[in-house]
């Protein structure tokens, strides 16, 4: 889970680092990058609330994950507000303003980052191993993999996963079948390469300098 959370921290840093310097010709690809990033965040928390948390509560007890869900709600309005604004910019019904992006991001980023750090101890691996059998966790992993492949976009979500992950911290991630990873990395990635240029990492998972992520992201 910390891998995913650190991806989100890198993405937030990249938006902060670039929002105010976007030139007119970059507005469309940059807002596409931001919208795709926020969509990945939405999906992550949707998966947690509809699959992971209900599973964990079968052994850890009802309402064990309530605090995590409450934290989701605490930043969701701000996230949706930014997403709505960026979508309007993409549609040409709102003018792009880097100041507006930063202001709207400021409205929820601290709460989001706090959540990303607070949630990790509640999902700590030793706690899960103590409560669930190896088969339980393998079954969950299989169910999670199926949900991800069914629900995420090969054109947006998976490329986002590549450009927000520092391969030097976990070279096995993302845990995709090699043929799918190859298609995304060397084929579908190119469809929106102008947008992915704003990612905190390149397509090979190498952190780009100057986007707020030059030092390793601490474990969330």
| pLDDT, tens digit (0-9, with 9 covering 90-100), for 91-103 | 999 999 999 999 9
Full-prediction pTM beyond 0.85? yes
- Could you give the CA distance from residue 172 to residue 185 in angstroms, rounded to a whole number? 15
- Could you give the CA distance from residue 135 to residue 158 in angstroms, rounded to a whole number? 27
DSSP state of 52: I
Residue 121, CA distances (Å) to 60, 115, 116 in order: 14, 11, 10
Query: What's the mean per-residue pLDDT of the chain?
Result: 92
Mean pLDDT of all residues in 158-175 = 91
Structure tokens belonging to residue 190: 């190119």
Burial of 151 (0-12, 13-18, 19+ CB in 10 A): exposed
pLDDT tens-digit map of 7-37: 999 999 999 999 999 999 999 999 999 999 9
Helices 66-91/27-47 angle, 10° precision? 160
């Amino acid at each position: 889970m910390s891998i995913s959370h650190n991806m989100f921290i890198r993405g937030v840093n990249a938006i902060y680092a670039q929002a105010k310097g976007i030139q007119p010709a970059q507005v469309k690809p940059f807002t596409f990058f931001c919208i795709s990033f926020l969509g990945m965040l939405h999906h992550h928390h949707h998966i947690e609330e509809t699959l992971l948390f209900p599973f964990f509560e079968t052994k850890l007890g009802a309402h064990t994950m309530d605090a995590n869900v409450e934290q989701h709600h605490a930043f969701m309005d701000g996230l949706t507000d930014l997403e709505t604004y960026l979508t309007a910019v993409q549609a040409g019904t709102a003018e792009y303003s880097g100041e507006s992006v930063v202001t709207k991001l400021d409205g929820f980023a601290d709460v989001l980052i706090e959540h990303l750090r607070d949630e990790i101890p509640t999902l700590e691996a030793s706690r899960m191993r103590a409560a669930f059998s190896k088969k339980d966790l393998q079954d969950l992993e299989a169910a999670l993999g199926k949900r991800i492949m069914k629900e995420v976009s090969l054109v947006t979500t998976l490329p986002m996963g590549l450009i927000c992950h520092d391969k030097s911290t976990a070279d096995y991630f993302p845990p995709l079948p090699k043929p799918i990873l190859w298609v995304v990395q060397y084929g579908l990635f190119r469809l929106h390469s102008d947008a992915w240029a704003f990612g905190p990492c390149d397509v090979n998972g190498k952190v780009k300098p100057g986007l707020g992520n030059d030092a390793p992201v601490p474990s969330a």
